[in-house]
Structure 1
């Protein structure tokens, strides 16, 4: 399991990209990178400008697609069709 301080710059960029993507749940980030939601929030707070972090938190707070448990069972994928191919 990674701590956000141990990630490579490429992994940090990938986590930020997945965190911004509406269809990528935190569980997918944990599966791929090993960071739980709280750790993703810490990483985002550390890596982003304050205003960008605040805007991101407002977007993801309560968003059903960011949590697998809250999603509709009809949603079977965790990325948008135009998102980069996820390798794992």
Structure 2
């Protein structure tokens, strides 16, 4: 995994908010902040409670299976 650019607390908060949204793709987050999908997942894992992270990943995977251009 590549090193993510230095991010402020406010930027991390915005990334988390975007990632939790069902309407924002990883590509959009990458375009805005320069972090990869794996880096977004690492940010989410480090900032959410374990159960919240697992629920988010499950939702992203299930939604992604239904819609090809999603996360």
Gaps of 5+ in 2: none
Corresponding position of 1:42: 42
Gaps of 5+ in 1: 72-88
Q: CA deviation at 1:12?
A: 0.4
Inter-partner Cα distance in structure 1 for 2:55 and 2:22: 13
Structure with a larger share of its residues in helix:
2
RMSD: 1.8
Residue 56 in structure 1 maps to residue 56 in structure 2: yes
Inter-partner Cα distance in structure 1 for 2:33 and 2:62: 22
TM-score normalised over the length of structure 1: 0.67
Q: After the TM superposition, which parts of structure 1 deviate over 2 Å for at least 4 consecutive aligned residues?
A: none
**Equivalenced residues, count:** 65
Alignment of 1:65-80 (within 5 A): 70-71=68-69
Residue 23 in structure 1 maps to residue 23 in structure 2: yes
SS at match of 1:53: helix
Structure exhibiting the larger radius of gyration computed from Cα positions: 1
Inter-partner Cα distance in structure 1 for 2:63 and 2:28: 15
TM-score normalised over the length of structure 2: 0.82
